[in-house]
Amino acid sequence: MDFQNLVAIDTHVHIESNTDNVADETARKYFGETGARSSPQELAEYYRSRKIGCIVFSVDERLTGRPQVPNDDVAAIAAANADIMLPFASVDPVRGPEAVREAERLVKLGVRGFKLHPPLQRFHANDRMAYPFYEVINAARLPVIFHTGHSGIGAGMPGGGGVRLKYGNPMDIDDVAVDFRDMPIILAHPSFPWQDEAISICLHKPQVYIDLSGWSPKYFSPVLIQYANTLLKQKMLFGSDYPLIKPDRWLADFEKIAIRDEVRPLILKENAVRLLGLDH
């Protein structure tokens, strides 16, 4: 990634298949996203035209029926757009030894990190079942993005589409941060209704960050804005949650909230550059 020519780095971008189902339709309605689906090349053109870099991934889960774009395809898309894209992989740790082998293969392939979604993958992040999987990532010193908090996926569907919100409690991830100290952790999204817990973990554990994706900044809580401006100004990351929230919308709303001028470049780009080692 040619970060020096970028104005921002979006740390939370989904590459999705063209298959629509009820979970997709409900999520798009929940987020107010009515535009046509973008192809990977259209996604790349969108980000390149705005001089925004991005971390891309597709989630490995079997709850919603939405097919994953294979990790190898995500890596190939990123390689074809290496000026703006970094590939993260997603492997469901519940797959056990198979997940461990796949993580080892993907590390060798050159992915730059992993994305996990405990509510969709149906596991507590601190379940010892997942520890052999984390050991692979920790040994490679790669970051992991964990979905935390409320899930727009399943919102409004009968039974929430089977999504159990308890798996999004960031306190589970505090144990992971203790036990895997060489694995940077990104708590994805303002972690409603556990925002204070996420802030506490990020304050307490040096390798834990928060990405601000999945919510329009106009809905950020005052306490989140307070810490973004002060004690956590070097640990907050711009993330959109594309395609459900696009950078144009997120950035326009970000301009209107009370973030200090000297903090804005940290959140939009500089913290991600440091975390991802792009300046080395």
Which domains, and CATH codes, for the chain?
A: 3-275 (3.20.20.140)
Reported as a single tens digit per residue, the pLDDT across 86-120 is 999 999 999 999 999 999 999 999 999 999 999 99
Tell me how long the chain is.
Answer: 280
Statement: residue 29 has pLDDT above 70: no
Instruction: Tell me: pLDDT of 31 over 70.
Output: no
Largest CA distance in the chain: 49
> Based on C-alpha coordinates, what's the Rg of the chain?
17
Distance CA 71, CA 250 (A): 27
In this prediction, residue 27 carries a pLDDT of: 63
pLDDT higher than 90, residue 36: no
Instruction: From 242, 190, 260, 279, select the one nearest 52 (Cα to Cα).
Output: 242
How do residues 188-234 score in pLDDT, each as one tens digit? 999 999 999 999 999 999 999 999 999 999 999 999 999 999 999 99
Q: The pTM is what? A: 0.94
